[in-house]
Each structure stands twice: as C-alpha cells, then as structure tokens.
Amino acid sequence: MGLKFSFEGAKLEKKAVVGLVAGDIVASREVVCFRQLETLETLMQVLSSTNHNGFPIVVPSPAGKLVTGFVLRPKAEALVKRELEKRAASEHHLQSLASSPAPSGVWDNNVAAERISRDTRPPPLRAALSMPSQLSTATSIATVSEPTAPNRKLADWSILPSDLQVDLRDHMQPAPYIVYNTTTLEHTYQMFRQLG
C-alpha cells in the first residue's frame, strides 16, 4: 500500500491516516526473535534464512513475549563467527596435543618449558580458519564485514553440538525503539522522522 506521509502538508493526507495503526500497514508476518541465551545452531539458521537488519531479544512472560533489547545483524554474524573460530581453535589445539609425540630422555628445563609453552598455545587465527578437515565449505551462511579484515564466509560447522549457546545480553541494545501493532500510524511516522 503506497501512502504518502507528509503530515506537515495537506490536511487531506493527515485525515486519510487518522485511525490507522501500524498493524494495519505492516506486520503481515511473525517477527523473528532471539532469546537472551540462543543456540549457535538457531543463530546460524536464522541468519542464513533471513535478510533482516536486526532482531528483537525476548524473554517469555505471562503476557507473551517481553522485548528486552535488540541485536543488529552484523553483531549477530560477528558473534557466530567468533564462536566458530573459538571452536575451530580449540579443536585444532586438542588435535595438535594428541598428535605431538611425548618427549623422551633427559630434559633440559628450559627446552621442556619452551616445548610445553609452544604446545599449549592456541594456534593463530589464520591457521584455525584454514583447517579444511574441520570446516565444511559446502554451505556458506553469511559474510561478515570487518574494517580490518577481508570478507570471510562463515562455514557450516559439521560437528556443531546443538546445545552450544551464545549469550546475547552483552551484545544487545537494551532500549530499542519499539513500534507496537497498536501504535498509531502518525506516531510511528513521527518516531521514524525523529530518528532521521
């Protein structure tokens, strides 16, 4: 529906939208929401199947869902990427510890300390991202743009545990602008006009 919104203009246009609420114009589909603690699998599925710029964070309440904040898509993609990188680094670290031979003979304390320090350090991030044995590149779900790094595709994690959760509370905007279905269209227009 193409409505012209120039409330400062003709009185006729203002009369045309009096009595209309935001739910009359928009909200034809269910809003895609995240919980405060969301599984990594759900985050990956939603990010790969939608193109929304952000997602409300909700908690269940007796009256339905209560909005506690909002997370932008780039932030959610960066969180997924970080969790996948942490998992890849820890998997690579465990494999390198398991495959390294046990030292034999008489140890010099300095050499032993250096070997232990070197073997227990996590691998560099580039090495963790370029491990073809752990990451399946068949399914790419999102591209994350970072100002200091080139675009990288997030790969589908083939052995991703379904209970791995990401805490979104520290990464959400706690006081987003909310337009309810019952908000008048004029108030909705004024709110977005003030945002710029």
Q: Which amino acid, residue 79?
A: L
2 inside domain:
no
| Token reading at 81 | 């990427």
58: phi then psi, degrees, rounded to nearest 5: -125, 155
**Structure confidence at residue 142 as a pLDDT band (50, 70, 90):** very low
Above 80 in pLDDT, residue 112?
A: no
**b (16+ CB within 10 A) / e for 26-61:** eeeeeeeebebebbbeebbebbeeeeeebbbbbeee
Q: What is the pLDDT of residue 8?
A: 53
Q: What is the pLDDT of residue 150?
A: 34
Average pLDDT over residues 11-21: 65
130 inside domain:
yes
For the chain, the average pLDDT equals 69
Above 60 in pLDDT, residue 170?
A: yes
Answer positive or negative: Cα dihedral of 98, 99, 104, 107.
Answer: negative
20 inside domain:
no
From 12-26, 52-66, 109-123, 135-149, the region with the lowest mean pLDDT: 135-149
Distance CA 38, CA 85 (A): 18
Q: What is the pLDDT of residue 130?
A: 43
16 inside domain:
no
Could you list the beta-strand ranges (E) of 94-151.
135-144
CA torsion 183→36→34→160, rounded to 10°? 180
Model confidence pTM above 0.75: no
The more confidently predicted of residues 30 and 156 is 30
Q: Evaluate whether 135 touches 150 at the Cβ level (below 8 Å).
A: no
75 inside domain:
yes
The more confidently predicted of residues 55 and 134 is 55
Q: What percent of the chain has pLDDT over 70?
A: 53
Secondary structure (3-state) at 36: coil
CATH of the domain at 127: 3.10.580
End-to-end CA distance of the chain: 22
Q: What is the pLDDT of residue 162?
A: 62
Question: What residues contact residue 21 under an 8 Å CB cut-off, 6+ apart?
Answer: 181, 182, 183, 184, 185
Above 60 in pLDDT, residue 134?
A: no
Whole-number Cα distances in Å, 154 to 91, 131, 151: 17, 13, 10
Unique residue bearing structure tokens 């909005």: 67
Average pLDDT over residues 104-128: 49
**Domain count of the fold of the chain:** 1
181 inside domain:
yes
Residue 145: domain span: 28-195
Above 90 in pLDDT, residue 43?
A: yes
